[in-house]
């Protein structure tokens, strides 16, 4: 089910002592080959963490032999010492696995502004490499251990897989429960495949997949400094994948992971799908959906089980999308509460007791559609993020 679902990969997750809880906090995913092709999409936040700066250099040739990920610290805004820590971590992985440090992606997640303990990192790398060498690193248990090691405020590991009838597999893991907003990539995600594809093909497929999955997840409008989505291909299946079929499978895995991230968003009590239909362009459908998803008034109303559709229209009106302000329809959980900018069915018919909420916005301006995934704004979200570094 996880990052080890595809053949040709090994994984491990260990407790390196970076977290005060004593839980797993360092993971390694190794590509055993014969191919070491890769593609990665990084955050577009201009304030990038040291692991992102390092990994952008690694990806210059599209070759990746391993990925090392830690929770317990973002290694962002930690100066030259922080970059040296990232470099030294890659060197430690390279030495233990017998690969080049220039082919090791480094990912970190946690609090910004704190230095990571290099001694604990290198000891964790040693233990994870030993676990990989033990011979059981391709199992589901090993994949789960790696997925657990990258969790921060997550309450559960996120994993997904797809097996193609053609004979190849895609598997993946993700972490994220807050700061879920798009910038070509979201959170930390590692996806593997044993299909035969080169780095250029992987890049094409990954960008197509993230555009309609992770990029459509906007839990709280906050973009991280560390977001990284990586796709590795081992080629172990020996099957040359059809690119369109592979992209569809990859998109399904990414969508599953994105929905799992949405369902585990910090403090959320409702998972909201905002579907915008009949927009003039797809981009405008995204802009409208995102405007609603980032409306604290709307999100607070959903938390209070209040189907206040006026807040939906108010958010739509902040965009420059093409529409007639008095020609918009809105339905919430199947109840048509607004038609052509006027009240329709009584709002008290809307049942917001279930966790799942569906908002349908019809702009009547074209034939394009997009869906944005978000959550409500709760007391628990405010509490968790006000006490995050304490």
Query: Is 6 within 8 Å of 169 (Cβ atoms)?
Result: yes
DSSP-assigned beta bridge partners for residue 329: 362
Distance CA 326, CA 338 (A): 10
Outline where the chain has alpha helix (H): 50-58, 79-97, 118-133, 140-149, 199-211, 243-263, 282-293, 296-303, 309-316, 379-386
Distance CA 245, CA 226 (A): 30
- List, as one string, the DSSP characters of 30-68: EE-SS--EEEEEE---SS--HHHHHHHHHGGGTB-SEEE
Tokens of 260: 């799992």
Query: Is 292 within 8 Å of 363 (Cβ atoms)?
Result: no
Secondary structure (H, E, C), 226-252? CCEEEEEECCCCCCECCHHHHHHHHHH
DSSP-assigned beta bridge partners for residue 372: 274
DSSP-assigned beta bridge partners for residue 339: 342
Distance CA 26, CA 121 (A): 8
Give the β-pairing of 66-70 and 104-108. Answer: parallel
Distance CA 191, CA 220 (A): 24
SS3 content of the chain, % helix, strand, coil (to 5): 35, 25, 40
Outline where 151-295 has alpha helix (H): 199-211, 243-263, 282-293
Distance CA 376, CA 114 (A): 30
**Sign of the alpha-carbon torsion through 277, 281, 287, 288:** negative
Q: Is residue 21 among the annotated active site residues?
A: no
The one catalytic residue in 86, 186, 236, 251 is: 186
Tokens of 117: 């303990």
Structure letter (DSSP) for residue 348:
G
57 C-beta neighbours (distance < 10 Å), count: 9
Active-site residues, by number, are: 186
């Amino acid at each position: 089910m996880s990052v080890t679902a595809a053949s040709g990969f090994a994984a491990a997750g260990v407790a390196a002592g970076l977290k005060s809880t004593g839980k797993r906090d360092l993971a390694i995913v190794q590509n055993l080959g014969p191919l070491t092709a890769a593609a990665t999409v990084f955050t577009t936040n201009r304030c990038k963490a040291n692991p992102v700066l390092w990994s952008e250099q690694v990806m210059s040739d599209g070759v990746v032999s391993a990925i090392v990920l830690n929770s317990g610290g973002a290694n962002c805004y930690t100066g030259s010492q922080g970059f040296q820590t990232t470099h030294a971590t890659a060197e430690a992985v390279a030495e233990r696995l017998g690969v080049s440090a220039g082919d090791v992606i480094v990912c970190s997640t946690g609090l910004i502004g704190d230095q990571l303990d290099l001694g604990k990192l290198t000891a964790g790398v040693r233990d994870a490499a030993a676990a990989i060498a033990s011979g059981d690193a391709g199992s589901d248990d090993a994949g789960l251990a790696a997925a657990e090691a990258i969790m921060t405020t997550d309450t559960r590991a996120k994993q997904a897989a797809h097996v193609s009838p053609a004979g190849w597999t895609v598997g993946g893991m993700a972490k994220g429960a807050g700061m879920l907003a798009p910038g070509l990539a979201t959170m930390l995600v590692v996806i593997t495949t044993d299909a035969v594809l080169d780095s250029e093909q992987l890049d094409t497929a990954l960008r197509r997949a993230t555009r309609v999955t992770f990029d459509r997840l906007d839990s709280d409008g906050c973009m991280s400094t560390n977001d990284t989505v990586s796709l590795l291909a081992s080629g172990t299946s020996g099957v040359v994948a059809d690119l369109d079929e592979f992209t569809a499978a990859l998109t399904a895995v990414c969508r599953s992971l994105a929905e799992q991230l949405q369902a585990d968003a910090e403090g959320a009590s409702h998972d909201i799908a905002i579907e915008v239909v009949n927009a003039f362009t797809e981009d405008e459908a995204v802009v409208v959906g995102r405007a609603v998803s980032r409306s604290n008034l709307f999100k607070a109303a959903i938390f209070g089980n209040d189907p206040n559709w006026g807040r939906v229209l108010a958010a739509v009106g902040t965009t420059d999308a093409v529409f007639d302000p008095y020609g918009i329809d809105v339905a919430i959980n199947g109840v048509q509460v607004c038609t052509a900018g006027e009240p329709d069915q009584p709002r008290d018919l809307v049942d917001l007791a279930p966790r799942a909420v569906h908002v349908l916005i019809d702009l009547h301006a074209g034939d394009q559609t997009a869906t944005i995934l978000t959550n409500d704004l709760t007391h628990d979200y405010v509490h968790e993020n006000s006490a995050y570094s304490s």
